[in-house]
Amino acid sequence: MAACAESITLPPSAPATMPVMESQDSGRVAGETIILPPPSPPPVPKSENAIPLILSHDGAPDDIATMVYLSNHPDIDVIGVIQSYGEQRPTRSLNAWQRFLYETLDYDSVPIGVGSVTSLDPAGNQFPTTWRAGADDFWGVPLPEAESEYTHYNGVDLIIHLLTNAAHPVTLLVTGAHTDIALALQQDPTIKDQIAQIVIMGGAFNVPGNLGEASGYGNNTVAEWNIFVDPLAAKQVFNAGIPITVVSLDGSDELLIGPVDLERIASSTAPGLDVLLALWERSLSWSGGPFKIWDIVAAVAVTHPQHFTWEYGALDVIAEPGSSHGQTIALRTGSSIARYSFSTNYDAVRDVVFEILK
């Protein structure tokens, strides 16, 4: 499969048009054609061969950390952000993520898309209501007020538009449900040719799942949340014939953030670090001590795959209802374009993270 750290030349900047979708109370007409904002220099200069990347996230605390990391990484160029189904309700968290993206991070020309508010899987699995309320409220972290009106797009349309108009293949980093990626591939299968790889935080292959973190899911000990909320969509993405790198719980469940890590970023003036510090202070309080972050581990895999031990082979997802609904499985058939993290050098990953967040 394409190497995570492969150099990719950035496409030339150009304005384009596409349909826009606004929330129900916005007064906009669905399908209205607008012009994307002209490109502006990112607050952190990007290298000539920075990897163009679309982040599809579900508003979890570690998604916020991941976005801060990506925006400050000189070798990653975020070209779009998708509000996906999962821990957040995409429309409810939209305004907070717009203020985070445009006021805190100064990513003024990065378009944001609102994904499907429901899953493809008829089971309609959901995160606990209290978790979703936290994600909808950006976990209570204060954000700057909006300095202007914001525009957002239909998430599926935005994915298709960005991939169709990319001069070179784009990396997708999926840290929430796969719903919008699956819908985009259904609507326009040709976009797969413009995807360098899909890097996924999700699944559990040789370790237990993590649904037990919430009550009511004790009969399923094998699924991981990001896959469980839409197993059917994940199955479609896994079987789409696109290179996939799955950073599963096998290789993401042991990166802990503690008080010493807050001290490491406390004096940083990098964009977004003040918001991240406030979030991590809350997380320490909620957890009563060091807490785990997963999504940022997958982000590190985009540029530093050498810090992971990979198992190659065809991967699949159980989409049938039952006690294994959402389980990720490694098949016996070989594949050179699919891999999952068997283990991780967490010390090396931590070094990469804090080199960027310093």
Going by the DSSP 8-state scheme, the letter that residue 142 receives in this structure is -
Which H/E stretch holds residue 165?
Answer: none
Residue 39 pLDDT grade (very low, low, confident, very high; cuts 50, 70, 90): low
Going by the DSSP 8-state scheme, the letter that residue 101 receives in this structure is I
- The pLDDT of residue 26 is above 70: no
pLDDT score recorded for residue 38: 64
Given this structure, which CATH class describes domain 17-357?
A: alpha beta
- The pLDDT of residue 307 is above 80: yes
Residue 322 in 3-state DSSP? coil
Average per-residue pLDDT in the chain? 89
pLDDT digits (tens, 9 = 90+) for 158-182: 999 999 989 899 999 999 999 999 9
What's the chain's Rg over C-alpha atoms?
Answer: 19
Using an 8 Å Cβ cutoff, are 178 and 206 in contact?
no
- The pLDDT of residue 320 is above 50: yes
Cα 64 from Cα 134, distance rounded (Å): 13
Domain boundary assignment for the chain: 17-357
Q: What string of DSSP letters covers 4-63?
A: TT---PPPPP---EEEE---TTS-PPTTEEEEPPPP---SS---TTPEEEEEEE---HHH
pLDDT digits (tens, 9 = 90+) for 218-260: 899 999 999 999 999 999 999 999 999 999 999 999 999 999 9
Cα 148 from Cα 157, distance rounded (Å): 24
Using an 8 Å Cβ cutoff, are 204 and 223 in contact?
yes
Residue 35 pLDDT grade (very low, low, confident, very high; cuts 50, 70, 90): low
Using an 8 Å Cβ cutoff, are 187 and 160 in contact?
yes
Q: What string of DSSP letters covers 119-133?
A: -SSTT-----HHHHH
pLDDT score recorded for residue 189: 97
pLDDT digits (tens, 9 = 90+) for 82-129: 999 999 999 999 999 999 999 999 999 899 999 999 999 999 999 999
Cα 297 from Cα 308, distance rounded (Å): 10
Q: What is the largest CA-CA distance in the chain?
A: 54
